[in-house]
Amino acid sequence: MMSSESVLPLPENPIIVGFGGVGVDFLAVVPSFPKPDSKIRTTEFTVQGGGNNGNTMTCAARLGLKPRIISKVSNDGPGKTMLEELEAEGVDTSFFVVSKEGTSPFSYIIVDNQSKTRTCIFTPGYPEMVPQDLSRANLLSALDGARVVYFDARMPDNALVIAQEAFHQNISILIDAERPREGLNDLLSLADYVVCSEKFPQAWTEASSIPRALVSIILRLPRLKFAIVTLGKDGCIMLEKCVDDEGSHIEEMDVDSCFVSLTTRKEDSTAMPTCIPSPVTKLRAEGIEESVCGRLYYGTSEKIPPSELVDTTGAGDAFVGAVLYCSCQL
C-alpha cells in the first residue's frame, strides 16, 4: 500500500537483539466482556506465541531484519511451541535458556468483540531467569554484530547486565516502557531510544500533559535521541532531540501549543497514516525551567473500518518492531 520508493532499504547489517518476555497466548474472543460470576461462550479461540519481546522480534523478522532473542522457557509443550514458532518466523532462538523443569510463561487474553479491546491475564514462567543463566561468552556472542538491542523492561537484573554490555560496545539501546517497573530507571539511563505507552510519560514524570512529559523525559535522559508515545487509534507523538547549531536564533514555542498546531493539520479525509512534523524549535513546558531543542511529530493511525477490526493484541509490539527497523538506519 506504500510505494516501494517510500520504504526504507534494509541496512547492510540488520542484526538486532531482543531481551524480555515471551509466552503462549490463549486468546478467547467473546461477544462482550463477561460480568462477574457469569458464564459465557467464546465465539473464537486460538493459541499462539506472544509476549512483548516475542511479538516485537517476529515483526522485525517479517520486515527483513535478523533478530536474536535472549529469554527463558521451560522444556514443556508451550516452551517447545514458542521456539518452533519463532524459528519458523526467522528469529534466532539459539540464545534461549531452556529449563529442564518448570513451566513456560503464558497469558489468558479476553478479546471483547463489542468494544474491540483485550484484557491480558499473565502467569510468569518458573523458574525465573537469573543473570547466572546467561554466560558471558553467550552474551558476547548474542551481541556480536548487533546494531540495536531491545528491552521490554522485564527481568530487570538480567536486562541491566545485557544493557551495560551493549552500552560498553556502543550498541544502540531501545526501551519499550509500558509502565513504571522495578529497575526501569537504570535501563532508561542507558537508552538511545524509548517507546512509551500512552499512560507511561505522565506516570513517570508527573507532568500535566503528554507533550510536557516528553520534554521532561528528554531532559531527564540526556542520552535519548527520541522518545515516542503511542496513542492507540489516535496515532503517536514523537519528540526528536536536535542539535542547536543556530544558538538563540531558533524560535521558542510552548510544547502543548506546538502539538495542538500539528493536530490541526491532520486531514480527516485521509485513511492512511501520515506524519506531521514541526520545524526545529526550542520547546518549553510549563513548570520546567529548561527547554529542549527538537522537532515534534504527530503521527496519525490508519483508519480501519470497525468491521475489519479483530484484535489489538500485539499491535504496540508490531509498532515497536517497525521503530527498530527504522532505528537500524540511524
Q: Residue 187 pLDDT > 50, yes or no?
A: yes
- Taking the whole predicted model, whether its pTM rises above 0.85 is answered as yes
Q: How far is CA 303 from the centre of its chain?
A: 21
As given in the structure block, the three cell numbers for residue 290 are: 529548561
309: helix, coil or strand?
A: coil
Q: Is the pLDDT of residue 245 over 70?
A: no
Kindly indicate the confidence band of residue 7, based on its pLDDT and cuts at 50, 70 and 90: low
Q: Which residue, among 159, 148, 213, has the nearest Cα to 189 in the 3D structure? A: 159
Taking residues 26-37, report their average pLDDT: 94
Of 251 and 7, more confident = 251
Separation CA 5–CA 107 (nearest Å): 40
Say what the pLDDT of residue 246 is: 58
CA–CA distance, 197 with 231 (Å, rounded to integer): 7
State the chain's maximal CA–CA distance in angstroms: 65
In terms of pLDDT, which residue wins out, 267 or 244?
267
pLDDT band at 309 (very low <50, low <70, confident <90, very high): confident
Tell me the CATH number at 169.
3.40.1190.20
Q: How many Å apart are CA 114 and CA 309, to the nearest integer?
A: 10
Q: Give a yes or no: residue 27 inside a domain.
A: no
Question: Does 11 reside within a domain?
Answer: yes
**What's the CA gap between 273 and 322, in Å, rounded?**
14
* Cα 92 from Cα 71, distance rounded (Å): 11
| Res 290 pLDDT > 60 | yes
The whole domain housing 145 covers: 4-22+51-103+132-327
Using a 10 angstrom Cβ sphere, with 0-12 exposed, 13-18 middle and 19 or more buried, the burial of residue 326 is exposed
Looking at the DSSP assignment, which residues form a beta bridge with residue 73?
A: 98
CB 115 within 8 A of CB 33: yes
> What's the pLDDT score for residue 239?
98
State mean pLDDT over 31-42. Answer: 94
Does residue 125 sit within a domain?
A: no
Checking DSSP bridges between strand 275-277 and strand 292-299, what pairing results, if any? antiparallel
Identify whether 45 is part of a domain.
no
Give the integer Cα–Cα distance in Å for 316 and 213. 20
312: in domain:
yes
Residue 277 lies in a domain: yes
What rounded mean pLDDT belongs to the chain?
92
Is 295 inside a domain boundary?
yes
How many domains does one find in the chain? 1
Q: Which residues contact 23 (CB under 8 A, 6 or more apart)?
A: 49, 50, 51, 54, 78, 82, 104, 105, 106, 107, 122, 125
Four-CA torsion 199, 203, 206, 210, nearest 10 degrees:
-20
How does DSSP assign 46-67, residue by residue? EEEEE-HHHHHHHHHHHTT-EE
Q: Looking at residues 193-200, what average pLDDT do you find? A: 97
Across the range 176-202, mean pLDDT stands at: 96
